[in-house]
Structure 1
Amino acid sequence: MPALLSRLRSYFFYVPMVYLYTAIMGAGSLISSLFDRDGRIQHWFARTWSKMILGTASCPVTIINPEKLYVGGAAVYVVNHLSAFDIPTLYAALPFQFRIMAKKELFRYPVLGWHLSRSGQIPIERENARASLKSLMKASDTLKAGTSMVVFPEGGRSPNGQLQPFLGGSFYVAIKAQKPIVPMALIGTYEALPMNSFHIRPRAFQLVIGDAISTAGYAPREMDKLAALAEDAVAELYYSRSTIERPATEPADEALRHAQLTESPEGQG
């Protein structure tokens, strides 16, 4: 009976309220985009929308190590992707304006997609190499102009709560702009709303911030090596606090990975 009541609460209260908030706040964001040149008003709408969703679903978020967020300027903040709750959690928690690199499919949704396009978020189209490169260069220009980027380097939500391999595109952006990478880990969003589910289970979230990783000395062709470094940092933050079990790693693969990560980037030619 408790499980049935929880599902009914999700289907007939939580989910309809999320759609209502999205329609109202999305419309406000679209209207503000007509005169909001620097995106501050649109970001306020996104942040307020996020807080409304988390408040209604009884999912408060706490930042662990908030002092590590600040690196003296713009940065690329990389974070694991677990749930539809991830974007609202990041908007509600992060106390500064940023832009998101997201897969092109999100930009096709009514209201949400319109907001993403009008507010300067960066669509990534992996099937089209030329379009993808154009998006990466746009993200690099955004960083150079002083606005931070938030990216999900896994490329999509995890189906089982475990970290998926990191793709190199966002690290190419960081190297081109010569901006640091800040690893972050979301805890609890998978348990609250896993992929392909509409059953919201209220719980507290954590956003854990790690030490910044410098891009100095890296060339764009070394983006995969930098991705592996960031992946290890996010994995340590995540599995040290999450209820999700860390997958086993083959010893030979782990030894090879360690050897690759301990090489100096300047020694790569």
Structure 2
Amino acid sequence: MKVLYYIYQICIALPILLVLTILTALITIVGCTLGSPHFWGYYPGKIWSRLVCFFLLIRVKVIGQENIKGKISYVFVANHQGAFDIFLVYGYLGRNFKWMMKKGIRKILFVGKACEEAGHIFVDRSGPRKVLETIRKTRAILTGGTSVVVFPEGARSFTGHMGYFKKGAFQLADDLQMPVVPLTIDGSFDILSRTDKWIHRHNMTLTIHQPIPPKGKGTDNIKKTLEESYVIIGNSLPHQYRGMVENPDQD
């Protein structure tokens, strides 16, 4: 069965998904230029992500959808198991949001331009002034229920375990006094790890936890929210992926 799936993904699924990726990027660019980035910066990507899972025969389960309500803006923080985290969150979170991503993604053909037009947030860590500029831009974007999704590890796992969390997302939530929603991603590592060259068929689960409201403002609030989020996310992972494993790629 594995061999048949490899043949299917090479001969059928991946060529279709390559065309869909280019079309989605072009639709996003044109739609955001002529229309509303709030709509065109989210829905084409959502449909694209669901189609990726459909054509690759990946089943998805979402737990805790009821935990996010109304037109509230959240800072979503998730563990970063692998490349398929993007499709899981984009396709199935069910909330209009912007990604907070590395500025290097801007260089990817079609995709980088689409992300820029969609209003996704490119993080520049070259200095304190750039970080403050990112926070100002984010504040302007996060209105009317639009949220932001961040991978606090900053890099994909090599083992399926979590590395340490950086404080940037929690500092942003503290600065804007927004609730943080932990997300547990499970199954993405088993589909395509950082060291794999083949996509493996495996189910994915997205667990949306209860929001963590601000408990104050400042260093203590940032630290407590970070630690609480880490524990919540980790406790929902399968036992073989629980516990921190140092990731040499985190910078």
What TM-score does the superposition give when structure 2 sets the normalisation length?
0.88
Displacement of 1:192: 0.6
Displacement of 1:171: 0.8
Q: For the residues of structure 2 that align with 1:136 and 1:196, how far apart are their CA atoms?
A: 33
Judged with a 3 Å threshold, the aligned counterparts in structure 2 of structure 1 residues 224 and 15 are, in CA distance, closer, same or farther, namely farther
Q: For the residues of structure 2 that align with 1:6 and 1:130, how far apart are their CA atoms?
A: 49
Residue among 234, 242, 245 paired with 1:246: 242
Matched, 1:200 2:196: no
Q: For the residues of structure 1 that align with 2:25 and 2:71, how far apart are their CA atoms?
A: 32
Q: Indicate the larger mover: 188-197 or 63-72.
A: 63-72
- Preserved CA contact (<8 Å) 1:71 1:212: no
Superposed CA deviations along residues 221-242 of structure 1, whole A, max 9, x for unmatched, are: 75344222211111112x2xx2
- Residue aligning to 1:84: 83
Identity in percent: 24
Q: For the residues of structure 2 that align with 1:141 and 1:114, how far apart are their CA atoms?
A: 20
Q: For the residues of structure 2 that align with 1:225 and 1:71, how far apart are their CA atoms?
A: 25
Q: For the residues of structure 1 that align with 2:177 and 2:70, how far apart are their CA atoms?
A: 13
- Residue aligning to 2:175: 176
Give the 5 Å matches for 1:1-269.
2-70=1-69, 73-144=72-143, 146-219=145-218, 222-237=221-236, 239=237, 242=238, 244-247=240-243
Displacement of 1:145: 5.3
Q: Secondary structure at the match of 1:91?
A: helix
- Preserved CA contact (<8 Å) 1:80 1:152: yes
Q: For the residues of structure 1 that align with 2:219 and 2:118, how far apart are their CA atoms?
A: 28
Q: Look up the equivalent residue of 1:246 and give its one-letter code.
A: R
Displacement of 1:56: 0.3
- Preserved CA contact (<8 Å) 1:151 1:170: yes
Displacement of 1:11: 3.5
Superposed CA deviations along residues 106-152 of structure 1, whole A, max 9, x for unmatched, are: 22111111111000000112344432331133223322554111111
Q: Secondary structure at the match of 2:42?
A: helix
- Preserved CA contact (<8 Å) 2:70 2:145: no
- Residue aligning to 1:252: none
- Residue aligning to 1:256: none
Displacement of 1:67: 0.8
Q: Indicate the larger mover: 109-118 or 212-221.
A: 212-221
Superposed CA deviations along residues 147-181 of structure 1, whole A, max 9, x for unmatched, are: 11111111011111101111111111111111100
The structure number with the bigger radius of gyration is 1
Q: For the residues of structure 1 that align with 2:9 and 2:196, how far apart are their CA atoms?
A: 10
Q: Secondary structure at the match of 1:99?
A: strand
- Preserved CA contact (<8 Å) 2:60 2:88: yes
Judged with a 3 Å threshold, the aligned counterparts in structure 2 of structure 1 residues 9 and 23 are, in CA distance, closer, same or farther, namely same
Judged with a 3 Å threshold, the aligned counterparts in structure 2 of structure 1 residues 127 and 177 are, in CA distance, closer, same or farther, namely same
Displacement of 1:72: 5.8
Q: For the residues of structure 2 that align with 1:154 and 1:207, how far apart are their CA atoms?
A: 17
- Preserved CA contact (<8 Å) 1:10 1:198: no
- Preserved CA contact (<8 Å) 1:136 1:169: no
Q: Look up the equivalent residue of 2:233 and give its one-letter code.
A: V
Q: Secondary structure at the match of 1:19?
A: helix
- Preserved CA contact (<8 Å) 1:176 1:220: no
Displacement of 1:61: 1.5
